Amino acid sequence: MEIPVRAASHSYAVTIGKGILKQAVASHEKLFEKADKIIVLTDEHVWAAQQQYFEENFPHAFHVLVMPAGEKCKTFENFLGAQTFLLEQKCTRKSLVIAFGGGAVGDLAGFVAATYMRGIPFVQVPTTILAHDSAVGGKTAINHTLGKNMIGAFYQPQAVFYDTNFLHSLNEKEVRSGMAEVIKHALISDAQWVEELLEGEHVTQLPEDLLANYLAHGVQVKAKIVEQDETEQSVRKYLNLGHTYGHAIEAAAGYGRVAHGEAVMIGLVYCLLLCERYGKINHLFTKRFLQFALENGYPFEAVHEFTFDQLTEYLLKDKKADYGELQFVLLDTIGNPFVQKIELAECREIDEQLRSLLAEV
């Protein structure tokens, strides 16, 4: 299946399906023929699990750099190391980078491609559920100790090859984390899809075909938004539902200790409490959604590990903040997101509500 992404800077396709890597590479033969060198940037866990499959299905010669896994991939030190590797391989503006891994690898590799010689082409080959979101749309970044994804660029890939065979090696925590972004896509787009998720099987036990359909649906939701707003000036902010408070939890815990999707799920419940005030979401739905999250194994312990004052410095670094005012993506109803400015004092009230709600269930 091919899903077009018609970004303002250029158009490309997301090829998604079981066992599609070899076919997808062949269908982009001109892209690979033009490359004087191909550099595969991956991490130690992905390469250990997927090296054989990748080499069997990728017919071109390449050089590989195996990097640290997780958020350690997105440090200044690793960014410098990747740039050094490209220089040592004598890469030029005709060289091609392959981002082979999950969201962290894709973010890092995309930023490397965006900045090496002021920009060289790259292809996303995501290997996680989480990356169905991050591999599409051209957001690239590394972390700073003072904030997540603070140094980066909007830089679109030439193509995305999403072979769902790669998902077989994911553990339960990785599946659960990735599904939080699927759930987010449902919340901002489709009430019926949300009902299907809430009433369906545990998110870590979905049949393979159903999971693939959900991922394709999520890609379509994101592609439609990116086509309208490539650089997050308006509607692309909707994709940050749950991320403002979630990123604060993730950053306070130290990147990697709380999985990104786990933090987003906490942020989604926080946002639903705000939606009760500013939209038409009722408290019964919020409690039902929280119960769904808990039944699916999403951990909420991190909320109790930090005071609101400790989270505040990370909230105020949110990239959606406007002249010091926090902006949250909220839902009027399921499928109808909007952006709302929220005073810090009200954020504190909602934080207290969240802690009280967690004590009830």
| DSSP letter string, 339-358 | EEEE-HHHHHHHHHHHHHHH
Active site (annotated) includes residue 139: yes
Active site (annotated) includes residue 349: no
Active site (annotated) includes residue 260: yes
* Catalytic residue from among 57, 143, 240, 296: 240
* Catalytic residue from among 30, 33, 90, 118: 118
Active site (annotated) includes residue 222: yes
Active site (annotated) includes residue 63: no
Q: What is the pairing mode between strands 63-67 and 122-126?
A: unpaired
Distance CA 156, CA 135 (A): 9
* Catalytic residue from among 181, 230, 262, 276: 181
Active site (annotated) includes residue 283: no
Q: Bridge partners of 325?
A: 322
- Cα–Cα distance list, 242 to 185, 203, 308 (Å): 11, 18, 16
Write down the residue that tokens 């929220």 correspond to.
342
* Catalytic residue from among 230, 232, 262, 276: 232
* Catalytic residue from among 74, 139, 184, 237: 139
Nearest of 46, 303, 298, 302 to residue 176 by alpha carbon: 298
Q: What is the DSSP letter of 282?
A: -
Write down the residue that tokens 């082979």 correspond to.
100
Active site (annotated) includes residue 296: no
* Catalytic residue from among 185, 247, 250, 262: 247
Q: Are 245 and 355 in contact (CB under 8 A)?
A: no
Distance CA 306, CA 44 (A): 31
* Catalytic residue from among 132, 176, 236, 237: 236
Write down the residue that tokens 């640290």 correspond to.
68
Per-residue buried b or exposed e for 21-47, using 16+ beta carbons within 10 Å of the residue's own CB? beebbeebeeebeebebbbbbbbebbb
Which region, left, alpha or beta, applies to residue 179 given φ > 0 means left and ψ of -120 to 50 means alpha? alpha
198, 199, 201, 207 alpha-carbon torsion, rounded to 10°: -90
**What's the token pair of residue 173?**
């925590």
* Catalytic residue from among 184, 243, 276, 296: 243
Active site (annotated) includes residue 243: yes
Active site (annotated) includes residue 45: no
Distance CA 177, CA 171 (A): 10
Active site (annotated) includes residue 118: yes
Q: Are 200 and 206 in contact (CB under 8 A)?
A: yes
Q: Which of the residues are catalytic?
A: 118, 139, 181, 222, 232, 236, 240, 243, 247, 260
